[in-house]
Chains A and B, each alone.
Chain A
């Protein structure tokens, strides 16, 4: 780590951190219990003591370029053992949320999502209004007598016409942020080797959650996140396969229940439900292990849970509910998906990019 010459703390950064849930950083008296109990901290760069110190002193510039902030999975081994209840896990999470906001492009989106505690009606309301207006314009919001497939409610082409551009915009938005982050990390140690070569083991690591498993934290945290991750991956792959089925294979919709694509989709749904249930359970009863619930965290969790719930209801509701209800459930589902897509670079979801980059950086700067 580079020597820190002339450290002049920023009260603003400290206050900002404090106002967003990191107030406990002030309690730290730097005993290093946190760093010694952390299973994830590498031997040559233990965390989170140093990060606590920087947070306490308001050394935001140094925290922004510190990969350790992202190597933390917030298992809260440190928080439960902290003798002074300084909650290092929470502080690290707060720093991450602050960084997501700082790196956001455009910046106003970052601020908007960061303040989800008060802006959530807007964040969900705009996509909802969007869908209602678009559908009104396209289909007149007619409720079919029977829903054989959702193409009857929202034509497939419309879905693609909305989500392809949104996905493109989001990628455009996250790309400069990720690049900026990558450059900031670069100021923090000399990298060697190729990005792609180091990305592979990182992706393997992410796909197995092996590192997360080394925490003392209840295994449920690991498996909850694991199920969600693979549920989302499965859902994304299924969406791609559906394109194939509709436009290339020209299969008849809806696909039969035992169709491989359908099976994959349902499997993903099961994973999402299980993962979502575990995460929600931990959040509700987890205590110190879970950490503080900030608006930033809660908004993301709320959107994910809503997404899973509306998704499942959309699928099974066709057999259970009146078409009118199903239509609105489906609109709600699309609303949530749009919200999740649009806020991806600005919500907790962005950790997917930043943590991956930090992990690659960490591998590339390891002493050979």
Chain B
């Protein structure tokens, strides 16, 4: 930017913390065209000062040196197409966290101003996206979640196409008579209202339902998906703005549960079978058609068992409670014994559990089924182990019901892609060895063939990535419906095990997200967490070496490849995390307000005192999602930290380029800290993989250090979560100690 205006606020103790006399000349030296000091910049009058300078054209970019970029966002919002705005958090990083009037504090503030000024000079104004955006939402799956999503989306005025693979709507709840209680006192069965929901959706003129249909191809990006669907009425193509995947789950295959007696006699059935009997109003023994006198329910049938499903499906216990209550209602005097390992009754269902338990004829006991065998009178004998009744307890029953868990109807996108890559490799590999290896991989993954659901034309695979146990991707900690495919939201049991009420809520949530995504696309904005960001990445493709790193590492699959592996960027899939920027060895990927050069300049703008001054310098790259808020919180609580640390907020640890570290080292800075979010199974990274990628790239960084003949402990990568603000001072102190032990950077002064 050409005309940078520095607006310095002296409120909130900033004026007391630093000497402001020399700052104007500092600003001019760093290229600021104007310098305004204001005692209360976020006041109406202060904001008006900035607005006036912007409106009369005297500045085209504004550096607000006041509070953290996370504070006063409404006050300091200007038209991003007219003016570039950067914020320097003097309040949090200087005034609230360091002793006022000291030399180190002054040096810190001046460095931060220099860094802010050189950075904003490198900014360019974003060019707005101007695309045609389709408002239709595609919903895949017509069960509880999909129907709820359809209702939500249609209610907000968006057209819906609902694609259902079977011949009827309702999913697994369609054949169920009752619902677990949904209202206080949570003691009695409710009517299953899926029928009403189906009628409402079918009767809605803005919803088009395609039965026995499947998505055979989806290309494009949010706002512009091109969807091909095949149904008995032929193949059709339409546009969709966003997608909800609510493909549900299937009951676990009971034929694998022979050790629980399945298949021994027809009188061992699954909970799904019993639901059918209850719906028909005929609870009968399949073997002789007579009503049973005692039903024994086996909980966790195949669940929480490494040999079958290692996880808890979370709803089987409530399903059994619902069935016990229905049996008591339909056949008074019947006995229902429930053998469980642990009854799990999420939410308010504990009340239901108690109510069912107190019904005469209900028996609940802890234990595991050791064996089911034929009984003396054509009935069944269920032998228990680990039961409180002793080692050899056994129960007779006329009907045994296995409460089976659920398997998500998902497709393992990454595995399918690996399979496709291996097939190509088996044919076109460079050597016999490579071809043989690829063929072997292809054979191992062959069972994924034909499992595709969405059939996305994405470089990273045709479906949503899956998490543990093949449940579809979801940022389950912070944003449950969000997946790593922008504009595609997972809802219901495909996302996580849940009951019908939760699935309905999930459908609503995902539907709202889909509509939100379409409206963001209409404005050319990113969806969260950089909601409102209109800038998009710029690829200088003439310098691209087709290394495929960006297409592989983009957490959101935003970048496709052409046949020559040249990246094809889909801006509306992009979440602006900057992971591609961080990985590109040629440094050809930049954002208008977040470029390699801009951040690199910040590093270079830090004044590094001579070795004799014994004032080491540390650059800390802080993720703006967790680490920076933690720092702000530490400042708000007046915690103090080492004044030699210079903080640079980054979009994500994945968006830290190695060259910045090299820049810092070359400049004589003694150490570099990277502080990001938690990684691993319970990751908190808003961009899913940023923190993990940064850790992987550390190897590369170590190499760089070795090349520069520097000690590898000058760079440290750490995880912090937002609530761990109290760790901040210690983190800086510990690193300072390491740097002291290692000694000053030998590059100082070069």
A residues whose Cβ falls under 8 Å from a Cβ of B:
1, 3-9, 11, 14-15, 18, 23, 26-27, 29-30, 49-50, 53, 56-57, 59, 84
Contact = CB atoms under 8 A, between A and B. Distances in A.
Given A8-B395, A26-B358, A27-B358, A3 B363 contact: no
Contacts of A15: 360
B688 to A, nearest CB: 39
A11 B359 CA distance: 12
Given A3-B391, A56-B364, 18 more contacts: A3-B392, A4-B390, A4-B393, A6-B393, A7-B389, A7-B390, A7-B394, A8-B395, A8-B396, A9-B363, A9-B395, A14-B360, A15-B360, A18-B360, A27-B354, A30-B366, A30-B388, A49-B388
A23 B354 CA distance: 13
Interface string B386-427: 001111111110000000000000000000000000000000
A64 B389 CA distance: 16
8 interchain residue pairs of minimum CB distance: A4-B390, A5-B392, A7-B393, A6-B394, A26-B358, A3-B390, A3-B392, A53-B388
A56 B361 CA distance: 10
B335 interface: yes
Contacts of B665: none
A8 to B, nearest CB: 6
23 contacts: A1-B390, A3-B390, A4-B392, A5-B393, A5-B394, A6-B381, A6-B392, A7-B390, A7-B393, A8-B394, A9-B337, A9-B363, A9-B395, A11-B361, A14-B360, A26-B357, A27-B357, A29-B343, A29-B357, A30-B388, A50-B388, A53-B365, A56-B365
Contacts, number: 58
B362 interface: yes
A214 B537 CA distance: 76
A65 to B, nearest CB: 14
A57 B358 contact: no
A356 to B, nearest CB: 28
Interface residues of B, number: 24
Nearest to A50: B388
A26 B389 CA distance: 16
Q: Which of A9, A15, A53, A56 has the most CB of B within 10 A?
A: A9
A3 B387 CA distance: 12
A4 to B, nearest CB: 4
A312 B361 CA distance: 50
Interface in B361-395: 361-366, 381, 388-395
Contacts of B395: 7-9
Nearest to B390: A4
B365 A30 contact: yes
Interface string B215-235: 000000000000000000000
Interface string B664-697: 0000000000000000000000000000000000
Contacts of A56: 363-365
A57 B360 CA distance: 11
A57 B365 contact: yes
A318 B337 CA distance: 64
Contacts of B363: 9, 56-57
B392 A11 contact: no
Nearest to A58: B363
Contacts of B337: 9
B389 A4 contact: yes
A14 B366 CA distance: 18
Nearest to B366: A30
A18 B361 CA distance: 11
A11 to B, nearest CB: 6
